[in-house]
């Protein structure tokens, strides 16, 4: 990476000095927040809070959570004061998950022994671990965006830009692999029977990881878009560079007049050949016999009698009558289904009735017609029936419900 110019270095110095001054100015309140696990907002003015959040010193892990120190700031304080209970030696996701499991077990042991003060402390530490895990993903994603918006602009050549893109792709791959390690089935088992643990380990963490997945998807789209643009620029630059090198080696080179050459190179001979048009000379008596033989050899086209307007109208009427007949047949079969429900009184499955009577209707059209007939019933008659839909979600990630079957029965008086 190329060194920063004087203006960029001066700007970086001023921003860094300002943020270090913020740490020194509010050192007591920040240290108290480190010990408590959360920040007392009453100890700061509104302007100071905005500056600390903008300086990436404080953050709010969730809308319902209080302000807290950024994970990197907490780790910095823990390393400076040699707080072995809080210092994170390994930032790996697997290590974080192991710490979360240990904190959950310690929290349950304290509750089992009735030591509620220790249990409250363990729950606070567990909350910090969960927020640190989510915060590390957020910091890494912010680092990726910073690389996209700044690092690519500092490198000098396209090859360096492509290498930076590959580094960012590898970092994104590591983040995705880290997210895969989070097994929510295991977290649900860990939080079983405890509302605090379930809200912390399942609800909040799942919402945060969904947001991280969306951010990583946007980063990946941006990386692919930039890589395609870099490759295109690289191919054009390589063509110009090679042509310039060739001209330096052959300063007297002059492009040949390719249109006037008989042997045109394949690279330039891309146009299709021109086929000359030909016509029979009718004024030549010697060719009349040949023309007559060619005309007799032409295949005769069959005469197609197009229907007149009256025949076309008749065909349209017949088609409309056929459609109306099928609709009436479907309506009749549905009415018979309702009559069977009245006779049976118990619940009756629509698809079972369709298969039992071997009706030649599509299952989706059959269910749609049954629902339509039910909606068209008068209010007093509609109350006679109880309709139950067998619905399933479209997929694991789509909450759209699809009707799989319908069960109809008579309402109890």
206-263 pLDDT tens trace:
888 888 888 888 888 888 887 788 788 878 888 888 889 988 998 888 877 766 767 7
Distance in angstroms (rounded) separating the CA atoms of residues 369 and 333: 10
Residues 6+ apart with CB under 8 A from 233: 158
Query: CATH: 1.20.58, 2.115.10, 3.30.530, 3.10.620. Which one for 89-251?
Result: 1.20.58
Q: Tokens for 182?
A: 């989070």
Instruction: Give 397's DSSP letter.
Output: T
- Smallest CA-to-CA distance from 409 within 385, 374, 391 is with 385
Q: What are the sequence ranges of the domains in the chain?
A: 17-87, 89-251, 315-410
Question: Each residue of 253-277: pLDDT tens digit?
Answer: 887 776 676 776 777 667 777 777 7
Query: 162-170 long-range CB contacts below 8 Å, 24 or more apart?
Result: 162/227, 162/230, 162/231, 162/234, 165/223, 165/226, 165/227, 165/230, 168/144, 168/219, 168/223, 169/223
What is the chain's percent helix, strand, coil content, to nearest 5?
A: 65, 5, 25
User: Coil, strand, or helix at residue 81?
Assistant: coil
CB 406 within 8 A of CB 388: yes
The model's pTM: 0.41
Helices (H), 147-194: 152-154, 158-180, 184-190
Tell me how crowded residue 351 is: count the other CB atoms within 10 A of its CB.
15
Tokens 């606070």 locate to 124
One pLDDT digit (tens) per residue for the chain, 413 residues: 444 556 566 777 888 888 888 888 888 888 888 888 788 888 888 888 888 888 888 888 777 778 888 877 877 787 677 554 454 433 467 777 888 888 888 888 888 888 888 888 888 888 888 887 887 788 778 777 777 776 565 666 777 777 877 888 888 888 888 888 777 788 888 877 778 788 888 888 888 888 888 888 888 888 888 778 878 887 888 888 888 998 899 888 887 776 676 776 777 667 777 777 777 777 777 777 787 888 888 887 765 555 555 555 656 666 778 888 888 888 888 888 888 888 776 788 888 888 888 888 888 888 888 888 888 888 878 888 888 888 888 777 777 778 888 888 887 64
User: Coil, strand, or helix at residue 391?
Assistant: strand
Give the pLDDT of residue 177.
81
Q: Tokens for 80?
A: 């400076």
Q: Tokens for 47?
A: 């302007």
Instruction: Give 150's DSSP letter.
Output: I
Distance in angstroms (rounded) separating the CA atoms of residues 309 and 233: 63
CB 351 within 8 A of CB 364: no
């Amino acid at each position: 990476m190329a060194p920063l110019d004087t203006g960029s270095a001066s700007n970086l110095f001023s921003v860094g000095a300002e943020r270090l001054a913020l740490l020194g100015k509010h050192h007591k309140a920040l240290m108290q927040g480190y010990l408590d696990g959360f920040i007392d907002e009453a100890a700061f003015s509104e302007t100071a809070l905005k500056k600390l959040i903008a300086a990436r010193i404080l953050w709010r892990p969730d809308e319902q959570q209080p302000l807290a120190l950024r994970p990197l700031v907490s780790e910095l304080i823990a390393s400076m004061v040699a707080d072995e209970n809080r210092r994170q030696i390994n930032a790996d996701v697997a290590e974080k998950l192991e710490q979360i499991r240990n904190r959950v077990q310690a929290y349950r042991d304290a509750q089992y022994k009735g030591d509620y003060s220790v249990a409250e402390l363990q729950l606070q530490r567990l909350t910090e671990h969960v927020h640190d895990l989510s915060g590390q993903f957020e910091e890494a994603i912010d680092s990726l965006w910073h690389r996209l918006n700044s690092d690519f602009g500092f490198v000098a050549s396209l090859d360096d830009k492509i290498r930076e893109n590959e580094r960012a792709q590898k970092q994104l791959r590591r983040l995705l692999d880290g997210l895969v390690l989070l097994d929510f089935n295991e977290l649900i088992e860990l939080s079983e029977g405890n509302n605090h643990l379930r809200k912390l380990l399942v609800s909040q963490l799942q919402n945060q990881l969904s947001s991280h997945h969306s951010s990583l998807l946007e980063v990946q789209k941006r990386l692919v878009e930039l890589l395609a643009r870099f490759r295109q620029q690289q191919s054009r630059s390589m063509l110009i560079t090679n042509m310039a090198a060739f001209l330096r080696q052959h300063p007297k080179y002059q492009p040949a007049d390719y249109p006037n050459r008989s042997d045109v190179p394949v690279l330039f001979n891309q146009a299709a050949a021109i086929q000359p048009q030909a016509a029979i000379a009718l004024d030549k008596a010697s060719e009349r016999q040949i023309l007559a033989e060619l005309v007799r050899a032409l295949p005769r086209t069959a005469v197609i009698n197009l229907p007149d307007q009256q025949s076309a109208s008749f065909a349209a009427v017949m088609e409309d009558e056929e459609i109306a007949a099928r609709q009436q047949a479907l309506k009749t079969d549905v009415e018979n289904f309702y009559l069977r429900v009245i006779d049976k009184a118990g619940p009756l499955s629509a698809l079972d009735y369709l298969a039992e009577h071997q009706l030649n209707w599509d299952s989706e059209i059959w269910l749609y017609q049954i629902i339509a007939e039910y909606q068209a019933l008068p209010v007093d008659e509609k109350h006679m029936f109880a309709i139950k839909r067998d619905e399933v979600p479209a997929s694991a990630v789509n909450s759209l419900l699809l009707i799989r079957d319908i069960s109809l029965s008579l309402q109890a008086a």
